[in-house]
Amino acid sequence: MALLLDNHQMAGTIETLEELVRVLDVESRPAGYMDALLRLSITPEMLAPFCQWNTRHYTRQCIHRTREHELILICYEEGQRTSIHDYDSQMAWIKPLMGTVQEERFKIATGGSLKRHGQRVLETGRLAYMATKSCIHRHSNAGPGRAVTLNLYARPIRSWRVYDERTGLASLLGTTEAGGE
């Protein structure tokens, strides 16, 4: 399931990552997570100290983690993207803080091939929700210039599986599954 949520005005805008972390630690329900992320409005200047850039690949910075959730800042140079992957976390919220990100969804078709079955564009400030269990997907920097997303996972990720996009096939531990890069 994937939802794209409108940013809405509400009292108590969160303007720093430190403030967001304090709120998340108090509010551990999914609705609370969503509310906190919707209230987040951070300027590029406030964000800059947390960003790390690499011309070879996108970067992942862990901003905060508890047993219940973890907050990851992902920085994409122009043209960079994640692998086609899935992981074991149950829920994820993705909020672009800079630039535009494209999300592609994949599913395993009959015969084990990997088929793209959906995509959406996440603009700066929009919040996307993803029920991530067994959700094969990829995020790419869709625009010119850099892009930064803030991803909140509940619970923290413990496993990560990368698929091969070239053939659309991937064998996992003896089980034939569809795949991409």
Residues of this chain that interact with another protein (CB under 8 A) are: 55-60, 62, 65, 67, 72, 78-80, 82-83, 85, 156-164, 166-167, 169-174, 177, 179, 181
* Cβ-based nearer residue to another protein, 1 or 173: 173
Q: Say if CB 172 and CB 108 are below 8 A apart.
A: no
Sequence-distant (≥ 6) Cβ neighbours of residue 104 within 8 angstroms = 84, 116, 118, 119, 137, 138, 139, 140
Tokens of 102: 């494209």
Q: How far is the CB of 88 from another protein (least distance, A)?
A: 8
Closest to another protein by CB, 41 vs 134, is 134
Q: Residue 41 or residue 171: which is nearer to another protein going by CB?
A: 171
- CA dihedral in degrees (152, 21, 65, 139; nearest 10)? 20
Per DSSP, what are the bridge partners of residue 104? 119, 138
- Euclidean distance between CA atoms 41 and 24, whole angstroms: 15
Residue 120 corresponds to which tokens in the numbers above? Answer: 């959406």
Helix (H) or strand (E) holding 32: helix 30-39
Query: Minimum Å distance from CB 146 to another protein?
Result: 14
How far apart are CB 170 and another protein at their closest, in Å?
Answer: 4
d(CA 51, CA 151): 13
Minimum CB separation from another protein for residue 41, in Å?
Answer: 26
Q: In angstroms, give the least distance from the CB of 5 to another protein.
A: 26
**9 versus 159: smaller Cβ distance to another protein:** 159
Q: Which is nearer to another protein, 33 or 163 (CB)?
A: 163
